[in-house]
Amino acid sequence: MTLRFDGKTAIVTGAGNGLGRSHALALAARGAKVVVNDFGGGRDGSGGSSAAAEAVVAEITAAGGAAIANGADVTDAEAVATMVAQTMDAWGRVDILINNAGILRDRTFAKITMDDFRKVMEVHLMGSVNCTHAVWPIMREQAYGRIVMTSSSSGLHGNFGQSNYGAAKAGVVGLMNVLVLEGEKYGIRVNTLAPSAATRMTEELMSAEALDLLDPASVTPGVLFLAGEDAPNKTILGAGAGTFSVIEITETTGKWLPEADRTPEAIAAHWASIADPTQRQHLANAGAQTQNMLKQAAAGLGLDLKLDGQLA
């Protein structure tokens, strides 16, 4: 069955260029009404212009779709609230939010300024927080919502010279993990995209041949999947050059040590068991980690400890 978004309204941030533009065009082509948000600044976040967002809107409307441009800076909570109010005035719903806006201010950690660190954190992490917080009550009220965060391999795996960017991109995964729990009973599903694409932020880092393969359009099907009615929940989807993967955060079962053996030397001695990759598990929430620790302690001490549901 063809995935359609007829009757749905989507907000895509950073949609004037690159990935955001590709996402906005694809959503509109499949029937969504789209708010094309872009502050219009440079790659480092400087400046500002509505031209890029308006050009994407023109593309969408020329193809018979419905779209409006918005130039809100996602770090400005009041401007974001106004954008969401504009969306509600126009179409009365917000079904999909794609948190895509981002900037780069790369420096090694030894050389980076705290202003540059904070600015990148503000755009990627707090920008996602501001936009999500603004649509959250609407999605709760209508008992439906699809939110996509945008992470990066820099945050999930690390990348030299991107401590600010990596910290922010790891942060949106933590945000997703909590919002999944808080939104589930309201029909809100929250997922994360980890894209590899040729954009303004990567054009100086790769060869022309690699950039051709990393067309943003090769990533966008993943966003459409995560924004659909049958989307998963709490999934980190890797996407790039036509390859799609699932990135997982797991924890080993670990090994309980009796009190007399709780020393760094004992941890070293038992490291193979503690780090055993064949005993990895997915944890539903923070309490599940504590449950695992307590169950092992109870078993080791011979205690009949009742835990089910206490820490969920």
The per-residue pLDDT for range 136-166, each reduced to its tens digit, is: 999 999 999 999 999 999 999 999 999 999 9
Same domain, 241 and 260: no
Same domain, 156 and 190: yes
* Amino acid at position 71, single letter: G
Report the pLDDT value the prediction gives residue 210, as an integer from 0 to 100: 74
Same domain, 274 and 194: no
Say if residue 200's pLDDT is above 60. Answer: no
Say if residue 29's pLDDT is above 60. Answer: yes
Residue 190 lies in a domain: yes
Per the residue annotation, which of 39, 91, 136, 165 is the catalytic one? 165
- Name the percent of the chain lying above pLDDT 70: 93
Q: How far apart are CA 31 and CA 65, in angstroms?
A: 7
Q: How far apart are CA 308 and CA 312, in angstroms?
A: 8
* Amino acid at position 55, single letter: A
Residue 165 lies in a domain: yes
The whole-model pTM stands at: 0.93
Selected residue with higher pLDDT from 214 and 255: 255
Residue 289 lies in a domain: yes
For residue 111, the domain's CATH number is 3.40.50.720
Same domain, 289 and 172: no
Pick the range with the lowest mean pLDDT from 40-49, 69-78, 223-232, 241-250. Answer: 40-49
Both tokens of residue 105?
A: 């201010």
What backbone phi and psi angles, to 5 degrees, belong to 67?
A: -160, 155
Same domain, 120 and 22: yes
Beta strand 243-247 with 236-240 is: antiparallel
Say if residue 177's pLDDT is above 90. Answer: yes
Residue 312 lies in a domain: no
Total structural domains in the chain? 2
Same domain, 170 and 295: no
Say if residue 199's pLDDT is above 90. Answer: no
List the domain range (segments joined by +) for residue 82: 9-247
Indicate the SS3 state at residue 244. Answer: strand
Beta strand 251-252 with 280-281 is: antiparallel
Residue 43 lies in a domain: yes
Residue 150 per-residue DSSP state: E
Report the pLDDT value the prediction gives residue 308, as an integer from 0 to 100: 62
Contact 30, 3 (CB under 8 A): yes
Listed residue (138, 141, 158, 153) closest to 195, CA to CA? 153
Residue 309 lies in a domain: no
Cα 222 to the center of its chain, rounded Å: 12
Q: Give yes or no: 186 in active site.
A: no
209, 232, 247 - which closes a domain: 247
Same domain, 222 and 108: yes
Same domain, 255 and 243: no
Residue 116 lies in a domain: yes
Residue 310 lies in a domain: no
Report the pLDDT value the prediction gives residue 312, as an integer from 0 to 100: 45
* Amino acid at position 75, single letter: T
Q: How far apart are CA 42 and CA 48, in angstroms?
A: 7
Report the pLDDT value the prediction gives residue 201, as an integer from 0 to 100: 55
Same domain, 32 and 78: yes
- 240-284 tens-digit pLDDT: 999 999 999 999 999 999 999 999 999 999 999 999 999 999 999
* Structural Rg of the chain based on CA atoms: 22
Same domain, 105 and 212: yes
Same domain, 285 and 136: no
Listed residue (170, 168, 143) closest to 156, CA to CA? 170
232, 247, 262 - which closes a domain: 247
Q: How far apart are CA 60 and CA 193, in angstroms?
A: 23
Same domain, 130 and 264: no
3-state helix, strand, coil in the chain (%, to 5): 45, 15, 40
